[in-house]
Amino acid sequence: MRAQVVIIGGGPAGLLLGQLLHRRGIEAVVLERKTRDYVLGRIRAGVLESGLVALLEEAGVANRLRAEGFVHDGTRIAAGGEIFHVDFKALTGKPVIVYGQTEMTRDLYDARAATGARTVFEVDHVAIHDADGDAPFVTYAQSGAEHRIDCDFVAGCDGFHGISRQAIPLNLRREYEKTYPFGWLGVLSRTPPVDEELIYANSERGFALCSMRNDNLSRYYIQCALSDHPEDWTDAAFWAELRRRLPEEIAARLATGPSIEKSIAPLRSFVTEPMRWGRLFLCGDAAHIVPPTGAKGLNLAASDVHYLYHALAQFYEERDREGIERYSERALLRVWKAERFSWWFSSLLHRYPDQNPFDLKMQQAELAFLRDNPAQQRAFAENYVGLPY
């Protein structure tokens, strides 16, 4: 079998790249380890920057998002019993769109199926060969049979636990990592959102976030201990703890109900460099992880896709390798800025076990500076709505 591009991983990064390439007449095969239903069962964040929305438009998959997504012109931040508003639209001219990543992934799968493009599910033992030469190929097993695809390029879109990153020799790879001493306990419930906007809360008892999927589907998170298990948290205990971490007027109107999903995610910052080795490109979570505070994970995958898509189009349409040569450098410049923002926003809102009274004062002063200073608000808003590609 032959393809111009083999995309390893059918998550949002791989699917978006595949769809954009298809529209430009570049043929890509997607290899996915799981089933479509498994991929669509994952609950992830749901805040889309305008850069990602533009890519989805270009890929021809923005219709439902336009109809069903919520336009958010700002966000609210609660601390010390008070709450303030940051107006993205006034500060940057741009909103964000709240639309579940699961729904976006579903739209991409539907669009892919409609094009007849090849997606191979439930693949095993995926291996990348000769990525540093001129004729790379990918091998995999499916239903016990071995397969080989010869290609021009390989896009490693297989997430943090994928194999693509490991295909780059260790002596050429440098990894940077920070783990955080807490996790996020998330609950999805069929209840109306507590507010029109997202609320990020810093409280004495730890961080809390009020988010949403639609008019009758809410997503809430609270900071928890890494040793906690979702089973340890009854719904009643979750709602009680969430209420304690929100300003009274918000807590008073929180609608609660049975959870339909409950999970704990650890927080991590991670980057691998470089993001290209010969004809292999890393894209999305395969190359970097951010803590979820600020919802940059998906949006960062999208900016990688943007740079890679343009690099491949430039190669096939103009026989120009410039975009390919500079892919890693361009993608990483933006990756590190989003890493900084996600790390900073996390540090602003969480309780750290080793925080001393001075550290707490610094956090309060940082929050007050954000509340009171228009330049700081603008810097925050520019990062939140997404830095330019």
Contact with ligand PHB (CB under 6 A) among 19, 202, 218, 293:
293
On whether the CB atoms of residues 20 and 55 are closer than 8 A, the answer is: yes
- Identity of the residue, 31 or 117, whose beta carbon is nearer to ligand APR in the bound complex: 31
Contact with ligand PHB (CB under 6 A) among 211, 223, 256, 303:
211
Q: How far is the CB of 35 from ligand APR (least distance, A)?
A: 9
Does the active-site annotation cover 337? no
On whether the CB atoms of residues 238 and 185 are closer than 8 A, the answer is: yes
* Phi, psi (deg, nearest 5) at residue 287: -110, -25
On whether the CB atoms of residues 99 and 56 are closer than 8 A, the answer is: no
Q: How far is the CB of 49 from ligand APR (least distance, A)?
A: 12
* Contact call for residue 31 and ligand APR (CB under 6 A): yes
Contact with ligand APR (CB under 6 A) among 69, 297, 323, 386:
297
C-alpha distances (whole Å) from 68 to each of 61, 65, 99 are 13, 5, 8
Does the active-site annotation cover 180? no
* Contact call for residue 33 and ligand APR (CB under 6 A): yes
Contact with ligand PHB (CB under 6 A) among 45, 59, 155, 302:
45
Does the active-site annotation cover 296? yes
Q: How far, in Å, CA of 338 to CA of 356, rounded?
A: 27
- Smallest CA-to-CA distance from 285 within 265, 305, 259 is with 305
Q: Count interface residues toward ligand PHB (CB under 6 A).
A: 11
Does the active-site annotation cover 288? no
Radius of gyration of the chain from its Cα atoms, rounded to whole angstroms? 21
Contact with ligand PHB (CB under 6 A) among 15, 30, 47, 104:
47
**Region binding ligand PHB by CB under 6 A among candidate stretches 17-25, 276-284, 290-298, 365-373:** 290-298
Q: Angle CA(239)–CA(227)–CA(189) in degrees, nearest 5?
A: 25
Residue nearest to ligand APR (CB): 11
Does the active-site annotation cover 357? no
Residue nearest to ligand PHB (CB): 211
Q: How far, in Å, CA of 294 to CA of 292, rounded?
A: 6
* Contact call for residue 158 and ligand APR (CB under 6 A): yes
Catalytic hit among 140, 221, 309, 384:
384
Place of tokens 């890693």: 328
Catalytic hit among 180, 221, 292, 309:
292
Tokens of 182: 């807490």
Site for ligand PHB in 265-284 (CB under 6 A): none
* Contact call for residue 219 and ligand PHB (CB under 6 A): yes
Q: x/- contact string, 234-273, with ligand APR (CB under 6 A)?
A: ----------------------------------------
On whether the CB atoms of residues 7 and 29 are closer than 8 A, the answer is: yes
- Identity of the residue, 109 or 207, whose beta carbon is nearer to ligand PHB in the bound complex: 207
Q: How far is the CB of 368 from ligand APR (least distance, A)?
A: 31
Tokens of 261: 């999903």
Exposed e or buried b per residue across 365-388, where buried means at least 16 C-beta atoms within 10 angstroms of its C-beta: ebbeebbeeeeebeebbbbbbbbe
* Contact call for residue 17 and ligand APR (CB under 6 A): no
C-alpha distances (whole Å) from 122 to each of 2, 117, 119, 280, 339 are 19, 16, 10, 22, 32
Q: How far, in Å, CA of 195 to CA of 109, rounded?
A: 31
- Does 12 sit behind a cis peptide bond, omega within 30 degrees of 0 on the bond before it? no
Which of helix, strand or coil describes residue 220?
Answer: strand
Binding footprint of ligand APR on the chain (CB under 6 A): 8-14, 31-34, 39, 44-45, 101, 123, 126, 157-159, 161-163, 284-286, 297-298, 301
Enzyme catalytic residues: 72, 200, 292, 296, 384
Binding footprint of ligand PHB on the chain (CB under 6 A): 45-47, 198, 209, 211, 219, 292-295
